[in-house]
Amino acid sequence: MPVYMVERNFAEQIEENRQAADEINLINADENVKWIVSFLSVDRKKTFCLYEAPNAEAIRAAARRAGIPADVIIEVGEEIVPTGAISPLQTTRYN
């Protein structure tokens, strides 16, 4: 399944919330979207998230239902490591 990087910008700082995460995961499952991992900015107002999804619209639909932004969605397929080597994206490290 394709992998996407999603940039989200929030007005308020994000706080840890297991219940909200569970709700988002249920919505994602309904839309055939899998949240892999998110990276949080130092000010806690921006995230960069990796998702598996059939297409970008499925991610947009899940975000609308969850009431969260999906400001930029980019399909990614490869990764570059510090040696300069390019290889297929390895999402299994987050399982």
Rounded CA-CA distance 81/87 in Å is 8
Question: How far from 64 is each of 58, 69, 77, 80, 91, CA to CA, in Å?
Answer: 10, 7, 25, 32, 25
pLDDT at 95: 78
pLDDT at 50: 97
The Cα 95–Cα 89 span in angstroms is 14
Q: Which residues does 17 contact at the CB level (< 8 Å), separation at least 6?
A: none
Q: 23-56 pLDDT, tens per residue?
A: 999 999 999 999 999 999 999 999 999 999 999 9
Interaxial angle between packed helices 18-30 and 56-66, expressed in degrees from 0 to 180 and rounded to the nearest 10: 140
- Looking at the structure of the chain, the number of domains it has is 1
Q: What CATH code is carried by the domain that includes residue 71?
A: 3.30.70.3090
Question: How does pLDDT run across 46-94, given as a tens digit for each residue?
Answer: 999 999 999 999 999 999 999 999 999 999 999 999 999 999 998 888 8
Range of the domain at 40: 3-94
